[in-house]
Structure formats: C-alpha cells, structure tokens
Amino acid sequence: MARPPHTRTRTRALARARTRTRARGAAALASACALVAVTGCGAADMTKQASPYANAQGAKSVTLAVQSWVGAQANVAVVKYLLEHELGYHVDTVQIDEVPAWDALSQGRVDAILEDWGHPEQEKRYVDDKKTIASGGGLGVTGHIGWFVPTYFAKQHPDVTDWRNLNKYADRFRTPESGGKGQLLDGSPSYVTNDKALVSNLNLDYQVVFAGSEAAQITQIEQFAKEKKPFLTYWYKPQWLFEKVPMTEVRLPPYKEGCDADARKVACAYPHTPLEKFLNADFARQGGAAAALMKNFRWTTEEQNEVALMIAERKMSPDDAAAAWAKENRPVWQKWLPKRK
C-alpha cells in the first residue's frame, strides 16, 4: 500500500485519535504487566500445571485420570463418590490414554491414576529418576491379557482353545476385513499388545485387525455374539463383558519371566499383572485426606466388576452406579477412609 501523503494539516480529530490509541496502548501494556505479574515473572513451574477447572468456587478439588475401559471408570466412580460424599471434595475427571496419563500425572494435571497395567519404562523415568510420581500401592485386582473365543464356540470345538489348533479354524474366523486369513480382533491402540509379533512368530494364518477403540471392539463382539458367530479376540480380565458374552481363553505358549523382553521375538502368553495405583508426588505428600483415601483404596475383582457391570450393562451413569454400590457395601469402604484425628 502507498505511503501516506505527507501532511501538515493534522486535525484535532486526529490528535484525539492519537490520545485514544495511546490510552489504549497503555491499557494493553498494563494488562500485559498484570498478566506477567500474576503468572510470575520468573520461571514457570512445569511440574505444577493444574487444571483451570480445579478448585472452582473455593472447593477442595482433586483431578482423577479415567482410562477408557469401564473397570477404570468403576474405580474412579467409587473413589469420586467417597471423596465427594464422605470427605467433601470436588472431583474432576479427565479421560486420558495410559501413556499420556503418566505424563499428565508427572506435570500435576491429574492427581492420580487408579489402575495401571504396568509401564516399566514410564515407571523408571518418573518414579525412580524424576521422582515426580509416587506409587500408591496395589489396587487389589489382578489383570490378565489373552486371546479369547466365545464359550459357545469353544464348547462345540474344544480343541480350539490350544493355539496349535488355531490354524485349523482360521477360515471360520474369516471376515471381509481380514482378507483370506482368520481375523484376530485387537482393540484400542493404547493397550499393551504383542499380537502382530505373536501371529508371525507362531506362524498363524491370521490377520490382526485393529478395532481402533475399545468401544468399537465391544460393539463388534456383541454383534458377533448376538448371531452366535465364532470370533477370536484380544481381551483382558477383569472385564464386565465376560458376564454378558462368556468367553474362553486360548492357551498360548506359557509365559516365562523375560520371554516378552524383545517385542519382536515374543512367542509366549501375556503375564498376570497386579494392577497398581500411582499418585502425583506432591499430591501424595500434601493431598491430605484425599491422598490417604486413595492409598487405602483396595478392592477385589468381583467388587470392581459389580460396579463396572452397572455402568456398562445397565447403562447407569458411573456416579449412580458408585452410589448404588456404596449404599450396599458400607463395611468395605469404611476401612478406606482416613482415620479422623
């Protein structure tokens, strides 16, 4: 654009405009300064990154990570119910995948993960090296990953539960998506899986089809079950879906300590993992009653399933399910509450 013609006839209006802009500039500068003053002129603390929704209206608040599976929702719902109704906290929940949740935990964006399926790499980085995350003890539930076929199919063909016979049934498990091979249905990309390596190392005539999310996988399994069709799927225990679609595990070559060390050479089953809780290190120290409750929180697979089933099967909201469970099981959760001084 052309330069303005040089002019001496500066009108009063222009002068007024100038003052106005100057005033506006000053206002902007002032607000910028205020912002800097509030955020602190020095270094920002990247390990204290709370959620903007936390502590609204003066409530004591806790942020919990919920993973996408329903068992984790059950943990969080019950803890949330107790925090809100017994200890007077406000609880925010955020759905995060497993690995990013570790990240968020170390930065203080969430205060706790209540169900972790074993992430040795992250555990070493954050718990041992950086000390930004502290262990919260065991959850009391043992997790197990495996390959499953529906029980109605396993009853008709008992030998399918041995991996050596899987190739025999490959054509029964075929779908349009798996091409000419049998389909091994895998779930969310966030889950621990060696299935691709397993299929190739055990020379199975199968194609791993990733459902992409647990929701999609469950929906597909339910559709198969409705039609009593055979299917082979990656799945895990404890999981409420077993109550609705009974499934039988396929025996893979037994798990031995360290046999899954090299991800490409894995040729053995998945281990049984005691599930654990992890807390943000600062929260673990200063979290008061909330942190104490979460450290004490420990229940059984059946108890977790009971709540999970209410959420997923009876379509109750997690909060309602937790309330219903808590009403029936007072003695169970009474001992989790921190002792009043």
Site for other proteins in 70-129 (CB under 8 A): 70, 73, 92-101, 103-104, 107, 109, 125
Q: Per CB under 8 A, does 226 bind other proteins? A: yes
Judged by beta carbon, residue 3 or residue 341, the one nearer other proteins is 3
Token duo for residue 224: 């198969």
CB neighbourhood size of 36 (10 A) = 10
Among 40-48, 148-156, 242-250, 253-261, which window interacts with other proteins (CB under 8 A)? 40-48
CA end-to-end distance (rounded Å), the chain:
75
- Least CB distance from residue 256 to other proteins, whole Å? 25
Q: Which amino acid belongs to residue 137?
A: G
CA-nearest of 152, 69, 150, 80 to 116 is 69
Among 312, 322, 326, 333, binds other proteins (CB under 8 A): 312
Judged by beta carbon, residue 53 or residue 164, the one nearer other proteins is 53
- Least CB distance from residue 152 to other proteins, whole Å? 17
- Least CB distance from residue 68 to other proteins, whole Å? 4
Q: Per CB under 8 A, does 132 bind other proteins? A: yes
Token duo for residue 194: 């060696």
Among 22-30, 61-69, 164-172, 254-262, which window interacts with other proteins (CB under 8 A)? 61-69
Length of the chain: 341
Judged by beta carbon, residue 159 or residue 243, the one nearer other proteins is 243
- Least CB distance from residue 129 to other proteins, whole Å? 9
Among 42-50, 145-153, 266-274, 329-337, which window interacts with other proteins (CB under 8 A)? 42-50
Among 19, 31, 156, 223, binds other proteins (CB under 8 A): 223
How far does CA 336 lie from the centroid of its chain?
A: 23
- Least CB distance from residue 103 to other proteins, whole Å? 6
Instruction: Find the DSSP H helices in the chain.
Output: 12-39, 70-85, 98-106, 120-122, 151-156, 195-201, 214-226, 241-244, 281-286, 288-296, 301-312, 318-328, 330-334
Among 12, 264, 315, 341, binds other proteins (CB under 8 A): 315
Q: Please say whether the beta carbons of 57 and 100 come within 8 A.
A: no
> Taken in order 261, 252, 145, 229, is the CA torsion positive or negative?
positive
The rounded distance, in Å, linking the Cα atoms of 337 and 241 is: 30
207 contact partners, CB below 8 Å, separation of at least 6: 177, 178, 179, 181, 182, 183, 184, 199
**What part of residues 249-308 is at the interface with other proteins (CB under 8 A)?**
none
**What part of residues 165-204 is at the interface with other proteins (CB under 8 A)?**
175-177, 179, 185, 188-190
Among 23-31, 213-221, 297-305, 330-338, which window interacts with other proteins (CB under 8 A)? 213-221
Judged by beta carbon, residue 84 or residue 97, the one nearer other proteins is 97
CA-nearest of 305, 177, 295, 191 to 241 is 305
- Least CB distance from residue 64 to other proteins, whole Å? 12
Q: Per CB under 8 A, does 19 bind other proteins? A: no
Which residues on adjacent β-strands are paired with residue 142? 274
Q: Please say whether the beta carbons of 236 and 193 come within 8 A.
A: no
The rounded distance, in Å, linking the Cα atoms of 227 and 232 is: 15
Among 15, 25, 31, 45, binds other proteins (CB under 8 A): 45
